[in-house]
Amino acid sequence: MSTVPEPLRVWETVVPSEWIDYNGHLTEGFYGVAFGAASDELLIHLGFGETYRSQHGTFYSVETHIRFLKEVHEGSRISTDTYVLGADEKRLHLHHDLLVDGDSVPVATQEAMLLHVSQPSGGGPPRTSAMVEPVRGNAIAAARAHSALSAPAHSGRGIRTLR
């Protein structure tokens, strides 16, 4: 795992026609699909997979915030630059910039908090649990490397209020 402080670009796809709405651009829900896929690829990059999931647990997204900045059209090649803003034994704080056709200016961003959970052996609801190696060490190393970069000004903020 690299400790170079640069974003991780581990996911990309071409926008299919099924993701396009009646206005001719990427529909709101598919931004979430794209960011979810980017988070999944990041987890794989950190060492998460089926064996890890069956033996140690999984991740739940417990909070996300998407900003829609520019329209995206069918056939565009989209990718994400992903930053691990923070990691501890049970949580991953991520930020994704959605990029189009290699342009470095994001068309959308997502900030997400993922929680590590495991299923109790006797059944019952999932419970928070500590990540294990290699995922924990890789997540902490990525967060440490990305801490050298300036966090986006909008991170940690919610929706603007009208009040």
Q: Could you tell me the CATH number of the domain that includes residue 133?
A: 3.10.129.10
The structure's pTM equals 0.92
Q: Is the pLDDT of residue 4 over 60?
A: no
- Per cent of the chain over pLDDT 70 is 98
pLDDT of residue 158: 79
- Per cent of the chain over pLDDT 90 is 82
Total of domains in the chain:
1
Domain residue limits at 97 = 8-146
Q: Is the pLDDT of residue 138 over 60?
A: yes
**Buried/exposed 40-53: b ≥16 CB within 10 Å, e otherwise:** ebbbebbbbeeebe
Write out the two tokens for 122: 């006797």
Going through the chain in order, the beta strands assigned E by DSSP cover 8-14, 58-68, 77-87, 91-100, 108-118, 127-128
Closest CA to 111 of 141, 133, 84, 142: 84
Task: Indicate whether 2 belongs to any domain.
Answer: no
Q: Is the pLDDT of residue 3 over 70?
A: no
Task: Indicate whether 1 belongs to any domain.
Answer: no
Q: Which comes out higher in pLDDT, residue 100 or 2?
A: 100
119 close to 58: Cβ distance less than 8 angstroms: no
Task: Indicate whether 163 belongs to any domain.
Answer: no
Task: Indicate whether 118 belongs to any domain.
Answer: yes
pLDDT of residue 2: 53
